[in-house]
Amino acid sequence: MKAVSAGTGPSRWARQAATLLAQVRDDALRDDLRLRFDERAAICEIDGELSRTEAERIAFESLVHALERLRGRGQ
């Protein structure tokens, strides 16, 4: 099991995700997207055995794609 470093704060990717999510006006959609980001990062970290930072980078890319799809539908 990987050691977790304490007190490092959120990664660059988590901060960028928070910035993107803050722009989503619908509370329920924002909460759903935040949950998706967190779950995707956790799956990549645990199952993919990636560092948390790398897992959050992948989750951030997934979030960007989800937002692009939503904007394409006019939401």
Q: How confident is the model at residue 6 (pLDDT cuts 50, 70, 90)?
A: low
Above 60 in pLDDT, residue 71?
yes
Mean pLDDT of 13-24: 96
Read off the pLDDT of residues 30-69 as tens digits, 9 standing for 90 and up: 999 999 999 999 999 999 999 999 999 999 999 999 999 9
Above 80 in pLDDT, residue 18?
yes
Tell me the DSSP string of 5-54: -TT----HHHHHHHHHHHT---HHHHHHHHHHHHHHHHHHHHTS---HHH
Q: Output the pTM of the full model.
A: 0.83
